[in-house]
Structures are given as C-alpha cells and as structure tokens.
A and B are shown apart, each in its own frame.
Chain A
Amino acid sequence: MSQKPVVEVKNLKVHFPIHGGIISKKVGTVKAVDGVSFSIGRREIVGLVGESGCGKTTVGRAMINILHHVAPDVEISGEILYHFGDETIDFGKLTSHEVRKYRSRVQMIFQDPYASLNPRMTVKQIVEEPLKLHTKKTESERRNTVINLLEKVGLQAVHADRFPHEFSGGQRQRVGIARALATNPDLIICDEPVSALDVSIQAQVINLMMDIQKEFDVSFLFIAHDLSVVEHISDQIAVMYLGNLMEFGPAKQVYHHPKHPYSTALLSAVPIPDPDKKNRKRIVLEGDVPTPINKPSGCSFRTRCPVVEESCSESTPVLEEIDLKHWVSCPIVTEKQ
C-alpha cells in the first residue's frame, strides 16, 4: 500500500517585509525561506540542517502556522499539504480560525526549554492544556493521561504538581515533549530541541525521542545544526542554505556521500573522533553568507561555491532526483552523474 506522506511542502516561500521611512513603506524583503519543497512520510524522521540564519526554524514555524502572531505582515506562499487520514489540508491557505481544529495533529517542541513552558502553570496544567482543548476527558482521566505521559518521557507522577522553574533544562524539555505528545499528533516539529541542553543530556533526550517516535507512530521534522545528531536520528536529511534546499536524501547517503558542494563542505566540518582520519581534507568556504535581503542571482550558493561556473548566476537551480529519493539542487553535479 502506498501511503501518502504526512506532509508535503511545495515551493514554500516566507518573506518578511522590511519597513522604513516616515510612512513605513516597504523598502525590502528578508527572503527567509525562498522556495523549499520536501515531504515527510509516515513514521519518518526528517532532519533539517543548515547554518544559523538559513531559515530552518522559519520553515518549521511556517509549517505549523505560528508566524503571524509575531510578524503580522509576513508573506507566505506555496503549499503546506497535510494528509490526515483521508483529508488533505493546506495549512498555508486556512485562516487562523479554521486551522485551529487541525492543530492537534501537528505539534512542536521548542528550542529553549526555559521559554517554552509558562512559568505560572504546573507541569500538569501545561501538559493537560492540549487535552482540555481537543478531548472531552474528565478531570481524573486527564490527570491519569498526564501522569502516563510524564512516565513515558522519563518523569514521575510527583513532578506533575511542580512548576517549570523547579526542573533542569533536560527535564523541562521532557515536559515539552510530553505536551507535544498529549494530542497524539501525526507530526512533531522539533526546533533544535537539544541545542540548549548540555551534551550528556542531549543523548538522553535524543534517545527518548527515538523511542517515542516508534511507540507513538509519529513523524518528526528534526531541525538542528548538529550534523552528527541529525545523522543519528534521521531517516532523511535536508540541507538548507540561505532559504533554499540544497540537498535532500536518505540520511546515510547524504551524510557519507554528500553530492552538493555545500553539503560536502558542511559535512567536512563535522569533527570525527578518530585520530587516523585527522588528515582528511577539510573544505573551507570563503567569504560570508550573503544577506537574505539581497540574495545572489541564480544559485544562492554561487558566491562561495568551489565548483562555480558562469551559468550558475543565470538560472535558479531546482531539486533534481539523481538517485532513488536523493535530490540535489545543483546542475553541475547533476550533469556529472
């Protein structure tokens, strides 16, 4: 049976207008995400990597439709198609009111566990809030569900009546995971869930997330900048640079045999704890990342690309499948294949 993916993102663009002058007219746009397409299958973990400011987080937030409350004038185009059972819903097209009843199907785990929990609510109140909204459980049923969830994420029932400030960062992130799981969603978007934690805790939380993914049959979009973490957890890896997807393919293949010159450079920077490999070639990119306000024409990576050709400035490359389920957005690489 060919199952539909949980979500298909097609040509997603997120532009933030810049206003200036006395009458605050539009003077430019930050092209945070500029045409990103990928899909996440059922029970699949897709890792989204890229350096700071490349638009990873914006992709995640656009997919869950929470950009408007901080940036009311954001311009979002493209399709974000969710397949919930037989229904297909485009999150980008619905009004904030219509989208509400589907909110339980997609949840998010946030980067900063200190800011993502309301400091005035107990853990029980935090985790049961989605239950109150989307289920008709009674008070005692909710309490049981909450305790059940807490135990699933490695906390105890006694923690239910404590406040977030009484927990460590790792424990808080577990509470965040429990909250995301409460509605039994189809997809959980994890926005750098471990980058605020120290390394020993990171491993625990990542293993927890992998266990949970199997137990709850949920898909993950795992946004991170730590490549080894992403390789460990993901089935698929998507590499982003300056608002564009550079490469998208099976995790092992992208990690060990990257095709796109940017992925190659990015992965050569991953430290390998093996003294025999200390002489491996590191590709050091020159220059800085161009600003997303004024992106280079054609391929956005061409200003720093080691294999750049003249034609790169002329047309914007599109993702092409060079191998089974392995897409690369670089005409030079595709030609060589």
Chain B
Amino acid sequence: MMEKNQNNDYVSVSINRRRWLKFKGLKRGYYSFIALIILYGLSFLLPVLINSKALIVRYEGSYYFPAFLELIPGVASYYPGEKFGQDIPGEANYRRLKQKWEDGSDNWLIMPVYPYNPYEDITTEGNKMYEAPSRKHWLGTDNTGRDVFARLFYAFNISISFALILTLINYLLGITIGGAMGYFGGKVDLFAQRVIEIWSSLPMLFVIIIMSSIIRPSFFLLILIYTMVNWIFLTYYMRAEFYREKAKDYVSAAISMGQRNRTIIFKHILPNSLVPVITYFPFSVVGGISMLVGLDYLGFGLPPPTPSWGQMLDVGLQNVSKWWMVFSPVTAQFLTLLAIVFIGEGVREAFDPKVYSRLR
C-alpha cells in the first residue's frame, strides 16, 4: 500500500500506519474513540464546568478565581464567606452571593455551567435529600443530598483514570516479565512460571477485601492491590509471543550480526509481539472500570465521599423507588463501557492480519 506525502511522492505505509488508517475507517470504533478522548479530556476541566465555586468573583474592586484555582493541584482555592461579606461559617456560598448581588450591586460573579459540586450534601443550605430531577438538579439528589449529575461526571473521570493507570501498570509489568521469560527461556522461564503459578493461586478477592478492611483504601492503594494479580495474565501472552518471535529468522539474523540483547528485545521482538496485548487493551480498561464499580458497590473501594458509580449504584438499589439514582449510574456505565468495547472491536479489526496476508 502506498500513499502520497506532502511532496506528492508516493511513499510506503508502515504496518502501524496502515492499521491506524483502517481503524479510522471503522466509523463506530473511531467515533467512540474520539468521543471518549474528548470527554475524558474535558473531565479534567470539571472544576470549571461543574462546580459550586464561582469562575470569577469581582468584589470591591478585586478579582478572585476560586474555580480555576481548583484546577491547579496544591493551590488553595478556599475563600471564607466573610471575605465576600457573607455572614456564614466556613467557605463562601457563591450561589447565594450571586442572588444577593443580582439587584444592582457593583460586585458580580460568574458561576460554572452547572453550579453544584459532587461533595456538597445536606449540610449545605438549600440542599435536600432524594430530590427528583428538576431544572435545578438535573438528575436529582441522593440520600445525603448530593447532586447526582455532578457526581456522575466526577466519577467518570475517576473511573477512566483508575482503569487506564491500572491497565498501563499491568501492561508494563506483564510485558516486561512475560517478555523476559520468553526471551531468556530455560531456567529463567521455568522458575518464573512456578512463582507465577503460586502467586496466581492466592485468592485475590479475599486479599483485597481483607486489606480494604484493615487499611483505608485510597486510589493508588487500590491500583497497587489490583496490579498485584492482574499483570499475570499478560505474561502468558507475552511469553508465548516472545517464544514464537525469537525463533524466527529475523531474530537469528540480528543475533548473527552481533546485535545486543536489549536492541533485539525492544527493536525486533517487542514491536512484533504486541498485537495480542494491544487488541486486548480496551477490554482490559473495561475490566478495570467494572472492577472498581464492583468493589465500590460492595463498599471495599474508594473511601467516601469520593464520587463513584459503584457507590451510587449501591445507594440507588437501596432506594429503588427513586429511579434517578439507579438509572443514572447504570446508564453512564453502560454508555462508557459500550464506547470502549466499540473501540476494542475497531482495534481488533484493524489488527486483523487476514487482510494483509491477502494483500501480500
């Protein structure tokens, strides 16, 4: 396959570029990919989109940007109520300030598109439990008066980040260890196989539950616990791929010209053995998300009040009559997982070698 470059010359297309072009041609997967990338990118800007803090406050000649400050980690975005002439304890209530300043005062403020944050519960004035969806709370409120819509989106960010980081660490570990087993073979392989067999026979669900009940799990602790078991299945793929690839003549050629082990592994074998793990990547992300939802549902996941679909599902199922609390997390989860599965399907098809063997 050839394509034109900037100079209008025909150039050969590498396998990876061809796969990307093929993936782009598979509309369902490609659009899911674009949509998910945009949504995930936007979800890092959530503090300025869905937040109870004002974007800009102008108070007696000075400007304040509380919501934007929240985007920068480690910078305090906390302004006490007294600062803006509010007679309340704790942080300023920007929604009330807006109402107060609406009748012709010099001070003004701009609120985010959706002026509620996922943590403010019944203790914040004006919030009620089990509020049905309305123009104020688009998807109602939950058992502690927190806004479901806001929580849904914050949970989206956390779920995807969790699954992505988990998958990446798993891949790094699994590919390295599996690749080393396959490349060096012999005693290294034999020993590592036995260790993996012992390790994988640990009942990991119980280990996680026990660990979660002893130490309070955090985002990274959960990832750590999960990676302890999850890298194992990748070593099976990589080990077999390395065994197969290293017996091919192009590896023999590299050895016979005196190439270093490192170069042979990373430049010759690795790029040729990644196909099964790359096509599995989206499904691994799906697995990560589902796992987090499951653990949160059981109460062994991220500590409250972290927004999470599993916890929302748990609350929803305890109050089935409040339909919005079941409907929202289920729909969000369904759509996200469906999009990722579409991507996975597209990737798998783009990597299908059959098309290329026909071209050859």
Complex Cα spacing A103 to B268, Å: 18
B252 touches A104 (CB 8 A): no
Complex Cα spacing A232 to B14, Å: 39
- Please report which residues of chain A, range 116-156, place their CB below 8 angstroms from some CB of chain B when the two chains form the complex: 116-120, 122, 129-130, 133-134
Max chain B Cβ within 10 angstroms of own Cβ: one of A101, A118, A161: A118
A residues less than 8 Å from B253 (CB atoms) = 108, 110, 116-117, 176, 179
B residues less than 8 Å from A162 (CB atoms) = 12
Max chain B Cβ within 10 angstroms of own Cβ: one of A61, A107, A130: A130
Complex Cα spacing A120 to B15, Å: 7
B257 touches A101 (CB 8 A): no
- Please report which residues of chain B, range 163-198, place their CB below 8 angstroms from some CB of chain A when the two chains form the complex: 184-186
Complex Cα spacing A122 to B14, Å: 8
Q: Which residue of B lies closest to A134 (CB)?
A: B258
Contact with A104, one of B15, B250, B251, B258 (Cβ below 8 angstroms)? B258
B12 touches A122 (CB 8 A): yes
Q: Is A22 an interface residue (CB 8 A)?
A: no
Complex Cα spacing A101 to B260, Å: 11
A133 touches B257 (CB 8 A): yes
Interface of B is mostly: helix
Max chain A Cβ within 10 angstroms of own Cβ: one of B12, B256, B271, B272: B256
Q: Which residue of B lies closest to A164 (CB)?
A: B250
Q: Is B146 an interface residue (CB 8 A)?
A: no
Q: Is B11 an interface residue (CB 8 A)?
A: yes
Q: Which residue of A lies closest to B252 (CB)?
A: A66
Complex Cα spacing A251 to B316, Å: 87
Q: Is A112 an interface residue (CB 8 A)?
A: yes
Complex Cα spacing A238 to B356, Å: 41
Q: Which residue of A lies closest to B258 (CB)?
A: A103
Q: Which residue of B lies closest to A101 (CB)?
A: B258
A residues less than 8 Å from B247 (CB atoms) = 70
Complex Cα spacing A130 to B254, Å: 8
Number of B residues with CB within 8 Å of any CB on chain A: 28
Q: Is A100 an interface residue (CB 8 A)?
A: yes
A165 touches B360 (CB 8 A): yes
Q: Which residue of B lies closest to A189 (CB)?
A: B256
How many whole Å from B5's CB to the nearest CB in chain A? 10
Complex Cα spacing A66 to B119, Å: 63
B11 touches A108 (CB 8 A): no
Complex Cα spacing A162 to B9, Å: 13
- Please report which residues of chain A, range 243-276, place their CB below 8 angstroms from some CB of chain B when the two chains form the complex: none
Complex Cα spacing A73 to B254, Å: 21
- A120 and B271 contact, Cβ closer than 8 Å, known pairs A134-B258, A161-B11, A179-B253: yes
Contact with B254, one of A61, A70, A112, A129 (Cβ below 8 angstroms)? A129
A116 touches B250 (CB 8 A): yes
Complex Cα spacing A101 to B268, Å: 20
Q: Is B100 an interface residue (CB 8 A)?
A: no
B residues less than 8 Å from A99 (CB atoms) = 258
Contact with A70, one of B12, B246, B250, B259 (Cβ below 8 angstroms)? B246
How many whole Å from B243's CB to the nearest CB in chain A? 9
Complex Cα spacing A116 to B11, Å: 23
Number of A residues with CB within 8 Å of any CB on chain B: 39
B257 touches A130 (CB 8 A): yes
Complex Cα spacing A100 to B251, Å: 15
- Please report which residues of chain A, range 52-94, place their CB below 8 angstroms from some CB of chain B when the two chains form the complex: 61, 64-66, 69-70, 72-73
A166 touches B12 (CB 8 A): yes
One digit per residue, 1 when the CB lies within 8 angstroms of any chain A CB and 0 when it does not, for chain B 76-109 equals 0000000000000000000000000000000000
A residues less than 8 Å from B11 (CB atoms) = 161
Q: Which residue of A lies closest to B1 (CB)?
A: A166
B residues less than 8 Å from A165 (CB atoms) = 15, 356, 359-360
Q: Is B60 an interface residue (CB 8 A)?
A: no
B250 touches A133 (CB 8 A): no
A115 touches B249 (CB 8 A): yes
Complex Cα spacing A141 to B156, Å: 53
28 pairs from A and B in contact (CB 8 Å cutoff): A66-B252, A69-B252, A70-B246, A72-B185, A73-B186, A100-B258, A103-B258, A106-B256, A110-B253, A115-B249, A115-B250, A116-B248, A116-B250, A116-B253, A117-B253, A118-B250, A118-B268, A119-B15, A120-B15, A120-B16, A122-B14, A130-B258, A161-B11, A161-B12, A165-B356, A165-B359, A176-B253, A183-B257
> Knowing that A116-B249, A122-B14 are A-B contacts, what are 17 other residue pairs whose CB atoms are under 8 Å apart, sorted by A's residue number?
A73-B186, A103-B257, A103-B258, A110-B249, A110-B252, A116-B250, A118-B250, A119-B15, A120-B16, A129-B254, A130-B257, A130-B258, A133-B257, A161-B11, A161-B12, A165-B359, A166-B12
Residues on B facing A (Cβ under 8 Å): 11-12, 14-16, 184-186, 246-259, 268, 271-272, 356, 359-360
Residues on A facing B (Cβ under 8 Å): 61, 64-66, 69-70, 72-73, 99-104, 106-108, 110-112, 115-120, 122, 129-130, 133-134, 161-163, 165-166, 176, 179, 183
The 6 closest A-B pairs by CB, nearest first: A103-B258, A116-B249, A72-B186, A110-B249, A100-B258, A130-B257
